Structure 1
Amino acid sequence: KFSHSHRAPSRRSPHMSARVAPSRPMPRHRRVAPTATSTRAPAVAPSLPSLARDVERRRREDAAPNVVRVLENEIIVVDDALSRATCEEIIRTIEDGNGFAHATSRGPKYGEAWRSNGRYAREDETFARALWDAVDGKRTFEFELDDASGFNPNIRVYKYAGDTGDHFGPHVDERVTVRGRRSG
C-alpha cells in the first residue's frame, strides 16, 4: 500500500528494507538456478468486472474485511478480500493470456529468499485501484497509515504448484517510491 511521502510515516521501523528472513535451507536437489529468471512477459490484464462485483457486494453487506495481523504492522492477511469466483477469474484470465512466467532467485548468498514459482507481473494502475476498492483499502489499512491511498501499481500474482515443490522463502519486501508515493 502507499502513502504520500509528506504525510505521517508508517509505524513500521523506518530502517526496514528488503532482507531474507531466517529459514531452514532448501534440500540440495530443490535449489534453483543461480540467476533470477522470468521466461514470459504478461500480455493481458486481469478482468475488472469481477472486482467491481466484489466492491458492490461489500458495500451492500456493509461488511468490513476480515483482517488478520500475522506480525503486528508488518504482515497482514485480508482473508475475504475477494470472492472465490473473482480469484478464479483472475487466474483464468492470466492463464488464458501468456500465463505465469517461471521465477527463481539466486538465494540467501545474494540476499534473496529461495524461490521457484509461477509469477504474473504487470504495471497496472487501473487494476491496483480496482483491487484497493475491492478490499475497501481506506478502512482496511487505517490501523497502520491514516493517509494510505492505494496499492502499488506494480501488480504481482504468484502461483505455487504443490506437485512441483514451488516455494518462496521467508523475506521482507523493501519500501519503494512510485510516482511520489512511498510504500508503507
Structure 2
Amino acid sequence: MAKVKYSKSKTTAKKLQSTFTNTTTAAATPPNWPPFKPALPIAALDLQPPVPGYADKILVAHNFFPKSLCRDYVTFLNTLPLITTPGRPKRGEAVRVNDRYQIDDARFAQRLWLETGLKGLVLDDSVKHLWGGEPVGLNPSIRIYRYTKGQYFDAHYDDYNLVTLPSTTEPSGTNTRTVWTILLYLTSAAEGCIGGETVFYPHDRKVAKEEIAVGLETGMLLLHKHGEDCLLHEGREVLDGEKWVLRTDLCVRR
C-alpha cells in the first residue's frame, strides 16, 4: 500500500486524527482485564529522555510491566474483538494500518494510575513541572493496538482531548485536558517483533539525520507530549512478528 504524505499543518493533521478516534466504535462493556501480578511496580521507576535534550517532550520508563505480565496481557488481548483500521484515510490524514480495540473504562484507567506506580512516577518532584498542570489521572479511553507484518502508522501528530474524570468529591466529575500520550509496549524483539520503532522528528519534517528512534522494549512505558507541542512522529512498519501496545493519556486539571 502506498503511503500518503503527512500534512505539514499540525492543526489539520490533529483535527483529522481526532475525527477518526471519535468515530471509532468501542465495545459497551469493559473486558475483565488480567490482574497486575506480580504486584507493581516490580522495581524503582524513573522517567528519562531516550536522548539528551528532549526531557520536555519524550520520556521513557523501563520495566513498568514485567515480561510475565506482558505475556499475560498479550494472551488476553488476543481474545478481544480487534478491528482493522481503514487502509484508505481521508485526504490529509496519516495512513494507519493496524488492528485496534477501544473501550471507555474509567475503572481500568484508575487501576493503571493507582496500582502500577504511575501516579508516584508522574508526581515526582523531578518531572511534575513538565505536565502543564496538576496531573489527576488517566484518560478512560483505553486503546489497544496490534501491528503485524507490513502494518505501520505514518507520520502524524496527536491532538489533546477534554475529558471529565469520575470524582468522589466533585459531583459533576473533574474537568481535565489530556497533555501527554502514554504508550505501554507489550512486545519487542524478545518476542519476535522486528521493526515498529516509534520515531520522532523534532523539526516537523521527516529527515533521517534528525530522527529520534525509540526502539521497542517489552514492558517499557513511553510518554510524549501532544497537542500544540506534539512532535511529528510515526510508528515504523513491523517487519516480522507482532507489536502490541496499550495506550492512554495523562490528564491534568483544567
Equivalent residue in structure 2 for 1:153, among 133, 140, 149: 140
Question: 1:176 aligns to what?
Answer: 161
Q: Which has the higher strand share?
A: 2
Aligned residues: 146
| Contact 2:45 2:64 (8 Å CA) reproduced | no
| Contact 1:119 1:158 (8 Å CA) reproduced | yes
1:49 equivalent to 2:35? Answer: yes
Give matches, 1:94-105, under 5 Å. Answer: 94-98=77-81, 100-104=82-86
Question: 1:25 aligns to what?
Answer: none
Q: Distance in 2 between matches of 1:38 and 1:123?
A: 12
Q: Percent identity?
A: 25
Q: Distance in 1 between matches of 2:35 and 2:24?
A: 28
SS at match of 1:89: helix
Give matches, 1:4-153, under 5 Å. Answer: 19=13, 41=27, 45=31, 47-50=33-36, 53-55=38-40, 57-58=41-42, 61=43, 63-65=44-46, 67-69=48-50, 71-98=54-81, 100-104=82-86, 106-107=88-89, 110-142=91-123, 143=127, 144-145=130-131, 147-153=134-140
CA-CA distance at 1:131 after TM superposition: 1.6
SS at match of 1:174: coil
Unmatched segments (≥5 aa) in structure 1: 1-15, 21-34
The AA in structure 1 aligned to 2:159 is E
Counterparts in 2 of 1:125 and 1:19: CA distance versus 1, 3 Å: same
The AA in structure 1 aligned to 2:177 is R
Unmatched segments (≥5 aa) in structure 2: 1-9, 15-19, 165-174, 180-254
Counterparts in 2 of 1:97 and 1:175: CA distance versus 1, 3 Å: closer
| Contact 2:103 2:143 (8 Å CA) reproduced | yes
The AA in structure 1 aligned to 2:13 is R
| Contact 2:109 2:142 (8 Å CA) reproduced | yes
Q: Distance in 2 between matches of 1:149 and 1:39?
A: 26
State the TM-score, normalizing by the size of structure 1.
Answer: 0.63
SS at match of 1:110: coil
Q: Distance in 1 between matches of 2:106 and 2:159?
A: 20
* Structure 1: 4+ residue segments shifted above 4 A: 35-44
Q: Distance in 1 between matches of 2:39 and 2:93?
A: 35
CA-CA distance at 1:18 after TM superposition: 7.2
1:149-176 per-residue CA deviation (whole Å, 9 max, x = no partner) reads 21111001111112xx011122221111
| Contact 1:105 1:116 (8 Å CA) reproduced | yes
| Contact 1:103 1:118 (8 Å CA) reproduced | yes
CA-CA distance at 1:104 after TM superposition: 2.9
SS at match of 2:108: helix
